[in-house]
Structure 1
Amino acid sequence: MRRRNFLRLTAALPLATTVTAADQTPAVAVDALPDRTAVLDTVRRVNNYWISGHADPGDNLWARATYFSGNMAAYRITGEARYLSYAKSWAEKHSYSLAGGVTTRHADNHNAGQTYLDLYEILGGEQKIAAIEASLHRMVYTDQPEKNDDWWWVDALHMAMPPLVRLGALRGDTNYWVKMYAMYNHTKRVQGGGLYDYEDELWYRDSTWSPGGTGKLSPNSKPVFWSRGNGWAYAAHAKVLSVLPSTDKRAPEYQWNMQGISRSLLATQRPDGFWNPSLRDAQHLPGKESSGTAMFCYGLAHAIRTGVIDRYTYLPVLAKGWNALVRDAVHPDGRLGWVQGIGDRPESSRPITYDSTADFGVGAFLMAGEEIARLLH
C-alpha cells in the first residue's frame, strides 16, 4: 500500500507573502471569512433565487435531493419558514417515497431520505421516514445482508451513508453503522482495486480511473481525481461524523480520511480559491468549478469547527474558497454559476461557464453556508 510524501504536496502550495520594512520577515497573507450576517445574506440570496425559478419543486432523484439537503441546511441556519414549507411540499409531492421503491439498493435513490429525515426530526410523523427506513432495513437485515458491493462509484458515499448513520442513531441500532462501514470499506479498498488512493489521499470516481480497474490517466499521464467526486466523499464523511459518536471504533478512520483529503485540498487549491475539475493534473481542463469547491468548503468548515483538522492551517483555505464562490460564482440576483453539470469525470458537461448552474451545486453551496455560519457563531 502506497503512502504519500506529505512534504511533496505541501511544498507545492503557493503562498502569497508580504514583507515588512522593519524586519524583512515574510508573513502569509491570509484571506478572512466575511462576518456571519454576510454569509447568511448570501445563503438567502442564492436559495431565494432558486425557489423563485422552481415553483414545481421537482423530482426526488439524487440531484434534486441534494438541493433539498442544502435547502434544509439553509432553513436550519436562517429559520426562514418558507424554506421548510418548500421542502415539505417537495416531500409530500412524492409521498415521502424513494425512486425505485423500498426494494431499491441504489444509493442515488436513498439520497432523498436525508431530507425526509430532516423533516421527521423537525415535524415528527413516522410516515415521513417509512420508505427510507424500510429500504435500508432490508439491506441491513433481509435483502442479501452480506452483499457490500452496491456502492461502486464514490458519489454513493454521500447519497447513502448519511441516512444509514442517522437511522442507526435514531433507532439505537448499531447494525446500521456496521453495515455502513462494510459497504464503505468495500468501496474504499476492494471496488476496482480500491477507489481510495493512499498516496494522493484522494478518491477515484470509479474503477474507470483506479489502478486496480481500467486505470485511465489524464492526457498528461497523471491519475484523474475528479473534483466533485471527491466533494461527494468529503461531504459524506462530514455528515457521518456529525452523527456518529466519537466513541464508535470506526470514527477515527472517517476522521483520518477527512484529514487526508484536507491535506490534498491544501496542495491543489487554485490561486483564485477554486479547485479545478481535475485535482491532480493542473493542466487537465483547468478552470473554475463551483460544485466541487462548495463541497470542499462544506467539509472544511465542518472539520475545522469540530476539531478534525487544524484551524490555523485550514481556515485560510476555507476563506479563500468561500470568498471565490461569492465573488465569482454568485450572480447579483443569486444565481450560482460555474457549476459543472451532471457527469462522472472532468470532461463531463462542458463548457463550464459563469452561467452554468444545477440544483445539486446550489445544494452544496447552501450546505457550505450553514457550516460556515456555525463556525462563525
Structure 2
Amino acid sequence: MKKMKNLLLGACLMMTSSASATDFQPAEIKQKMASVADWQMQNMDNIPVKFKRHRQLRSWVNGAFFVGMVKWAELAETDKYYTWLKSVGEQNKWQLGDRKYHADDHVVGQMYIALSDHYKDPTMLEGTQQRLDFILNNQSESGLKWGTKSAHERWAWCDALFMAPPTWAAMSAATGDPKYREFMVREYKAATDFLYDEDEDLYFRDSSFFKKREKSGEKIFWSRGNGWVFAGLPLIMEQLPKDSEDYKYFAQIYNKMAVKLLSLQAEEGYWPMSLLAGHSYKTPETSGTAFFVYGFAWGVNQGLLDREQYMPAIKKGWSCLLEKVHDDGMLGYVQPIGAAPGEAWADKTIAYGPGAFLAAGCEVYKLIQTDTK
C-alpha cells in the first residue's frame, strides 16, 4: 500500500511544472497566473461534498479567491476576468453571506467594492454598506474566548483578520466615511491583544490553541492561519493614508511578522503547516506559502522590506509554488478547509489557494518588472 501511494504521488508530481529561470520573466509569470485563474474559474464547484455549503459564490472559500482574482484582473491584458467577476456579483445580487456578524461572510465584499470602483457603479457596494451599517448600529458584546456561542460575532479567530477588516477599510476609502475604519481598527486591536503572541510574533488560530503544543513541545502556529493575517495586513494598509497612526499600527505588526516568517521558511521554499515545528510537517503546503510570498513581495514593492534581504525568500517561495502547478493550471498541495496544521496532497486544491497564488503572482510580477527595466 505504501509503495502504491508513493507511485501515485510520483505520478502527480510528474504532472506539475518545474521552475526555471524563465519563470521569472514577466511574460512567463503572467502566463502562469492566467493558467491558474482559468482553471479555477472553470472548477468553482470542486469543493468536497462535506463542505458543499461553501460552494455558494458568496462563501469565504470563493471570496478569498476573488481577492486574488481582482488583483489579476487589474494586471491581465483582457477584460474577461473583470467580466467574469461582475457576473459573479450579479449572481450574488451584490449581497454578503447570510450570517450578519460572521467575518467569513464579509470577505466577498472586498470584491464588490473593488468592482464598484472599477465600473464607477456605487450600487455594487450598497449591500455591503448596509450590512456594515447594521453591525455598527447593533454592535456585538460577545467575548473573544473560542467555543462560546457568540464568538463568531467578533474577530475571535485569526482567519477573520483577512476576511473582514480589509472590507471595512475599503468601505471607508470608498465612501470617505471614517466610521468603518474606526470600527475596524478598534476590533482589530482587540483581536490582536487576544491572539498575538509577542514572544513569537505570530498569531494563535484561536484561544483553544493557547495551551496546546505539538508532540515535540512547540506552540502551534498554523501556517495558513498566520497567512490569513499576514496577507490581510497589506489589504488593509493599501486603504489607509501612509502618514496615519492607523497605518503605522498595522505596519508595525507587519514588520514584526515578516522578520519571524523569514526565519521559518523551509529550504525547499515552502512554509511548514505548523510554523515552529517544520521537522514534523514535511509535506509542502501552497496556500500559506502563497500568502507569505504575497506579503513579502508586497512589502518589498512598497519599500517596507529590504529587497536584498527578502528577495531570495520570495524567489524560493515562488519557485516552490510554480512546481505545484499542474500542466492544466490546477494548483496542488492546498491544505483542505480546516483550522489547524494537517495534510495536503499533490492532486487536491480549493479556491482560496489559487486566490493566494494570484495575489502573490501579481506582486512578484511587479518586482520582476522592476528588475527588467
TM range (shorter): 0.7 to 0.9
Per the TM alignment, residue 376 of structure 1 is displaced from its structure 2 partner at its CA by 2.7
What is the SS of the residue equivalent to 2:63? helix
| Contact 1:148/1:186, CA 8 A, preserved across alignment | no
Q: Which residue of 1 aligns with 2:185?
A: 181
Seen in structure 2, the aligned counterparts of structure 1 residues 159 and 148 have a Cα distance that, compared at 3 Å, is farther
| Contact 1:298/1:372, CA 8 A, preserved across alignment | yes
User: Whole-Å Cα distance in 1 between the matches of residues 249 and 120 of structure 2?
Assistant: 33
2:133 to 127, 134, 137: 137
Q: Which residue of 1 aligns with 2:90?
A: 92
* Within-5 A mapping of 1:22-171: 34-54=24-44, 58-100=56-98, 104-140=100-136, 142-144=137-139, 149=144, 150-171=154-175
Q: Which residue of 2 aligns with 1:229?
A: 225
Q: Which residue of 2 aligns with 1:3?
A: none
User: Whole-Å Cα distance in 2 between the matches of residues 50 and 100 of structure 1?
Assistant: 24
Per the TM alignment, residue 32 of structure 1 is displaced from its structure 2 partner at its CA by 10
User: Whole-Å Cα distance in 2 between the matches of residues 55 and 151 of structure 1?
Assistant: 28
Q: Which residue of 1 aligns with 2:363?
A: 371
| Contact 2:44/2:351, CA 8 A, preserved across alignment | no
Per the TM alignment, residue 177 of structure 1 is displaced from its structure 2 partner at its CA by 1.7
Seen in structure 2, the aligned counterparts of structure 1 residues 222 and 145 have a Cα distance that, compared at 3 Å, is closer
| Contact 1:278/1:286, CA 8 A, preserved across alignment | no
Per the TM alignment, residue 54 of structure 1 is displaced from its structure 2 partner at its CA by 4.1
What is the SS of the residue equivalent to 1:376? helix
Seen in structure 2, the aligned counterparts of structure 1 residues 234 and 32 have a Cα distance that, compared at 3 Å, is farther
2:333 to 316, 333, 338: 338
What is the SS of the residue equivalent to 1:264? helix
More helix by share: 2
Per the TM alignment, residue 44 of structure 1 is displaced from its structure 2 partner at its CA by 0.6
**Consecutive unaligned residues in structure 2, runs of 5 or more:** 1-20, 47-54, 145-153
Q: Which residue of 2 aligns with 1:356?
A: 348
Q: Name the % identity.
A: 30
Q: Which residue of 2 aligns with 1:204?
A: 204
**Cα displacement string for residues 310-362 of structure 1 (whole angstroms, at most 9, x for unaligned residues):** 11111111111001111x21111111001001000003xx3x11111000101
* Within-5 A mapping of 1:208-223: 208-210=208-210, 215-223=211-219
**Cα displacement string for residues 42-67 of structure 1 (whole angstroms, at most 9, x for unaligned residues):** 10111112223348995211001111
Q: Which residue of 1 aligns with 2:6?
A: none
User: Whole-Å Cα distance in 1 between the matches of residues 178 and 284 of structure 2?
Assistant: 41
Per the TM alignment, residue 238 of structure 1 is displaced from its structure 2 partner at its CA by 0.8
Counterpart of 2:190, as a letter, is: H
User: Whole-Å Cα distance in 1 between the matches of residues 365 and 143 of structure 2?
Assistant: 37
| Contact 2:294/2:356, CA 8 A, preserved across alignment | yes
**Cα displacement string for residues 264-315 of structure 1 (whole angstroms, at most 9, x for unaligned residues):** 1111101110011110112233320000000001111111110111111111
Per the TM alignment, residue 127 of structure 1 is displaced from its structure 2 partner at its CA by 2.1
Counterpart of 2:106, as a letter, is: H
Seen in structure 2, the aligned counterparts of structure 1 residues 32 and 209 have a Cα distance that, compared at 3 Å, is farther
**Cα displacement string for residues 93-117 of structure 1 (whole angstroms, at most 9, x for unaligned residues):** 110111116xx11111101101111
User: Whole-Å Cα distance in 1 between the matches of residues 346 and 122 of structure 2?
Assistant: 42
User: Whole-Å Cα distance in 2 between the matches of residues 37 and 256 of structure 1?
Assistant: 34
| Contact 1:32/1:319, CA 8 A, preserved across alignment | no
Q: How large is the Cα RMSD of the aligned pairs?
A: 1.9
| Contact 2:161/2:232, CA 8 A, preserved across alignment | yes
What is the SS of the residue equivalent to 2:188? helix
Counterpart of 1:375, as a letter, is: L
Deviates more, 1:71-80 or 1:263-272: 71-80
Counterpart of 1:196, as a letter, is: Y
| Contact 2:334/2:345, CA 8 A, preserved across alignment | yes
State TM-score, norm by structure 1.
0.84
Count of residues paired in the alignment: 332
Per the TM alignment, residue 196 of structure 1 is displaced from its structure 2 partner at its CA by 0.7
**Cα displacement string for residues 140-161 of structure 1 (whole angstroms, at most 9, x for unaligned residues):** 3x11277785000001011011
